[in-house]
Amino acid sequence: MYPNTGSPFSIYFCGSEQCVPGHFFGPAVRTHYLIHVVLHGAGIYQRNGQTYRLHAGDAFLIFPLESTYYQADQNDPWEYAWIGFDGTMVPLLLENTCFRNSCIYRCPDSPDAKESAAQRVLAALQTFHGGNNHSISLAGDVLKLFGLMQEESVSSSESYSKQYLAKAKEYMENNFSYHIRISDIASFVGIDRTYLYRLFMEEEHLSPKQYLFQLRLRNAVNMLRDPRYTVTEIAYSCGFKDASAFCNYFKKAMGVTPRKYRPDLTLEKTPSEHR
């Protein structure tokens, strides 16, 4: 453990490992910052009760005094490189990267982007193990790594918010028929539930839970237009627990039960705002 000694920016150690299937570390607490960049394979990172799945090119950041856990995939265990660091300028540095509101860096889905992340962290390892671990050169290598995470992400907090919100909506669109939780959505996006809630309230004036309900209800209304589907089939297809729960939610939002709604389709009812 290396406490912050008050220096602006210090690199404590660097390393890499090809993990065996299922290899894990934690739960553990650090007194400094520790970033891992995934070079190959996959694994999970757990923090504050949320689980994030990462692949080659992605990275996860461990903040000081936070309990975390990470584990290599059983079938495709990851190889990763890590850098331990701290300093008085670190919070300001992270403020200008994707770690401003997240502990996860999601690499763009392109071979060049993944190779670039690997090259920058490996350059830092080479400098560190070359005996220059206290040099400006090493600090420069690490700053270039964070620069990538700024370049490949968007440059303003407003754009960050839009990006996170779009990913959350996409996840809901693709998974609303399943019993997904808000924590699942937050984990997919790479932010915590509190920040996700704030984004939806600011942009949609709905909580994530309410937005998901509205999405399910809209799809249920569309399916009710097709007489081939039973109410039970629609309930399960739209992610409701069962037909009874679906009918209760539907009546609360629409004023009538799904069965009574069907003969009235000519009225062109639409789901009311359920807030």
At residue 92, the pLDDT reads: 86
At residue 158, the pLDDT reads: 55
> What does the alpha-carbon distance between residue 123 and residue 63 come to, in Å, rounded to a whole number?
23
- As a whole number of angstroms, the longest Cα–Cα distance in the chain is 78
How confident is the prediction for the chain on average, in pLDDT?
Answer: 85
Flag whether 3 is in a domain.
Answer: no
Q: Which residue has the higher pLDDT, 42 or 227?
A: 42
130 and 162 both lie in a single domain: no
List, in sequence order, every beta strand (DSSP E) within the chain.
10-18, 24-29, 33-40, 42-47, 50-55, 59-62, 67-72, 79-86, 104-105
Flag whether 1 is in a domain.
Answer: no
Least confident interval from 50-54, 77-81, 125-129, 264-268? 264-268
227 and 123 both lie in a single domain: no
Flag whether 127 is in a domain.
Answer: yes
At residue 263, the pLDDT reads: 64
142 and 217 both lie in a single domain: no
Give the pTM.
0.58
Asked which of 125, 153, 181 is the last residue of a domain, the reply is 153
Q: Which residue has the higher pLDDT, 110 or 234?
A: 234
How many domains in the chain?
2
Q: Which residue has the higher pLDDT, 265 or 229?
A: 229
192 and 173 both lie in a single domain: yes
> What does the alpha-carbon distance between residue 245 and residue 116 come to, in Å, rounded to a whole number?
49
Instruction: Give the tens place of pLDDT for each residue, 211-223.
Output: 999 999 999 999 9
Asked which of 109, 126, 153 is the last residue of a domain, the reply is 153
> What does the alpha-carbon distance between residue 157 and residue 154 come to, in Å, rounded to a whole number?
8
Instruction: Give the tens place of pLDDT for each residue, 97-133.
Output: 888 888 998 887 767 777 778 888 888 888 888 765 5
28 and 148 both lie in a single domain: yes
169 and 53 both lie in a single domain: no
108 and 228 both lie in a single domain: no
Q: Which residue has the higher pLDDT, 265 or 182?
A: 182
23 and 141 both lie in a single domain: yes
**Residue 145 is part of which domain span?**
10-153
Least confident interval from 111-120, 205-214, 230-239? 111-120
Inform me whether the pLDDT recorded for 135 exceeds 80: no
Least confident interval from 32-36, 92-96, 250-254? 92-96
Exposed e or buried b per residue across 5-26, where buried means at least 16 C-beta atoms within 10 angstroms of its C-beta: eeeeebbeebeebebeeebeee
- Please, what sign has the CA dihedral across residues 139, 140, 141, 145? positive
66 and 24 both lie in a single domain: yes
At residue 123, the pLDDT reads: 86
At residue 265, the pLDDT reads: 53
What percent of the chain is modeled with pLDDT above 70?
87
Inform me whether the pLDDT recorded for 154 exceeds 60: no
Flag whether 132 is in a domain.
Answer: yes
Integer angstrom CA distances of residue 30 from 5, 35, 80, 138, 192: 15, 11, 18, 22, 20
149 and 161 both lie in a single domain: no
CATH (domain of 164): 1.10.10.60
CATH (domain of 104): 2.60.120.280
Flag whether 167 is in a domain.
Answer: yes
Tokens 């299922």 belong to: 22
